[in-house]
Amino acid sequence: MKKFFTKLICITFIFLIFPLQIYADDYIEEDSFDIEQFDSIETLSSNEAPAINARYAVVLDRSSKQILYAKSENEKCKMASTTKIMTAIVVLENSDINDIVTISSKAASIQGSRLGLSKNDKITIKDLLYGLLLRSGNDAAVALAEYVGDSVENFCTLMNKKAKELNLTSTHFVTPHGLDNEEHYTTAYELASLTDYALKNETFAKIVNTKTYTITLNNYPKTISNTNELLGNISGVYGVKTGFTNGANRCLVSACKRGDLDVICVVLGCDTKKNRTQDSIKLINYTFDNFSLVNIEQIIDDNFKEWYFLHTNSFTINKGLSQTLSLHLTKSELPYSYMAIKNSDLENINIDISFESYYEAPIYSNAIIGKLKFKINECEYFTINIRNYNSIPRKNISYYLMFMLKNYRNYFSC
């Protein structure tokens, strides 16, 4: 009997501890972070890229999709509840947010951070999305997956299909919530790219920028708060998602806009909540202190016009009926109009134009005449073609006969 009670106590102890070890998530934090410490962190400023605790990180310029800061940004890693960014997008693109969902026993029994759903509860998809992205409810994630995909497995197929569509080649999903699984992974860069896509959805952007919200569960109100500690505390932050599991450690995806500069900051694999907060603020401050959004389309236009003015008469078109080319840039090839550029590099922007001065007629309309390269510190970012609007026919026998006739008349008229 004594052995039986000893075993019972041990088993009970294991069941009490084991779920916390396996299913810990972003709403269950072992450490705390005093909100008053934000002020001292936010004043940190440096011209040098900061040292951070995060094992993987990236800052992405939303205008140009260029990387402004990176640390192991292409290395595969666990993502915890930042998974729910993809979950939300798949739901928003494949359902009516006003539909009412009845909660299953599977959704109601999931571990980790929870919205607090019970079997047979009734709630709209819209409110489940708020519970998913604010409270980070794993129960909301499963409920949404079952409703939209008919099963969690089918829903994950939709998640991976979307990842493939977005060219996220180093991302794979096996859950809608992000609890640890070796086959469930992403990279800091691809997570930033996914977030950039998600924020183009107005409903998603509105939800992740919400500090508190009152959902309706079984016709009763319930107010929930956002787990994102930066939202409402750091200037310009308008989302996006927190995450924590034992395998992924502390994670945070932030979107921040100040003036015209709009960036996404991802930190993954931080040791503590304080680390993820400090790292995010350091990277945000570094970015806005050292980068400016530049209208590169205007710079390219100005340089092209100046070049064209100087080289209008530089072309020889052998046997062409005209020697005049009407040139233009192929603007459709311009990958972006604005780009975040480091302040120290603003004087190092270089527009390199190459062209051939001699051509054989005919020259057809829209033919490539030259190329324009956009460079910073000799690093080439993209090339666009210079084309001609007009076609220039080749001189033919009719032209020469008319030329001879004209000269003959001029000769005898003298």
CATH number of the domain encompassing residue 323 = 2.60.410.10
Residue with tokens 């009734």: 122
Answer whether residue 306 is part of any domain: no
Cα–Cα distance, 216 to 106 (Å, whole number): 21
Residues 48 and 96 in one domain: yes
Burial class of 7 by CB neighbour count within 10 A (0 to 12, 13 to 18, 19+): exposed
Answer whether residue 296 is part of any domain: no
Cα–Cα distance, 45 to 216 (Å, whole number): 43
Q: Across 271-336, where does the E strand assignment appear?
A: 291-295, 316-318, 327-329
Cα–Cα distance, 86 to 231 (Å, whole number): 20
What would the pLDDT profile of 108-135 be if each residue is shown by its tens digit? 999 999 999 999 999 999 999 999 999 9
Cα–Cα distance, 188 to 72 (Å, whole number): 8
Residue with tokens 């970012």: 381
The residues, any chain, with a CB within 8 Å of residue 38's CB and separated by 6 or more, are 233, 234, 277, 281
Residue with tokens 């080749």: 394
Instruction: List residues with catalytic annotation.
Output: 81, 84, 136
> Could you give the count of Cα atoms lying within 13 Å of 63 in the half-sphere of its Cβ?
21
pLDDT reported for residue 391: 85
CATH number of the domain encompassing residue 224 = 3.40.710.10
Residues 97 and 59 in one domain: yes
Q: Give the confidence band of 59 by pLDDT, cuts at 50, 70, 90.
A: very high
What would the pLDDT profile of 141-195 be if each residue is shown by its tens digit? 999 999 999 999 999 999 999 999 999 999 999 999 999 999 999 999 999 999 9
Residues 95 and 211 in one domain: yes
Residue-range definition of the domain harbouring residue 262: 14-289
Q: Give the confidence band of 285 by pLDDT, cuts at 50, 70, 90.
A: very high
Which of 254, 289, 324 corresponds to the end of one domain? 289
